[in-house]
Structure 1
Amino acid sequence: MKKYMMFAISFIVLFLLFQVLSGLFLTLLYTPDIQEAWNSSASLSQETVIKSSRSPFLLTFILAFLSATIAYFIPKKMTKNSTH
């Protein structure tokens, strides 16, 4: 169980680090086209639609953590089955 906790904590830290670094990298490379945004703003709807109050990051994080957990236990299950 100690190995799993160490794996889980390191996975969470690395996942968050990569998310932040990729966000910074994408922000640095983004160059907005102000003229195009201004031209297309006239045809936008005046209504605001809120799709969801949940963050997509939370869902991504949960799925990544679940897949990492499953990936951690699969080799242990396979070695137990092959030795019997």
Structure 2
Amino acid sequence: MKRYLVFIVSFGVLYIVFELISGLILTTFFTPEFVSVESSLQQEVALGYHSSIPLLMLVSVATIAFFISNKVSNVYGA
């Protein structure tokens, strides 16, 4: 039970940190296209494209959390 709690807590913290960092990076490198806004003034909603980055981020965070939980359980003895 202790290993499970360590894994869940480390997974949650790492997931939040990775989401914040990726959001900051995406916001930093976003450049709006003003040319397309001038040509069409219609009321349209532009949805983004589907990416596999969230899945890759989730898998990498789970892997790091697994190794952290194993290290913590080895140090404190499970």
Which structure: larger Rg? 1
In the other structure, the counterpart of 1:23 is 22
SS in 2 for 1:27: helix
Deviations 1:17-51 (A, max 9, x none): 1111011111221155x8xxxxxxxxxxxxxxxxx
Report the AA paired with residue 17 of structure 1: I
Gaps of 5+ in 2: 34-54
Residue 70 and residue 18 in structure 1: after superposition, are their counterparts in 2 closer, same or farther (change >3 A)? same
In the other structure, the counterpart of 2:69 is 69
Gaps of 5+ in 1: 35-54, 78-84
RMSD of aligned alpha carbons: 2.7
> How many angstroms does 1:4 deviate by?
3.0
How many positions carry a matched residue from both structures? 57
TM-score normalised by length of structure 1: 0.48
Report the AA paired with residue 74 of structure 1: N
TM-score normalised by length of structure 2: 0.51
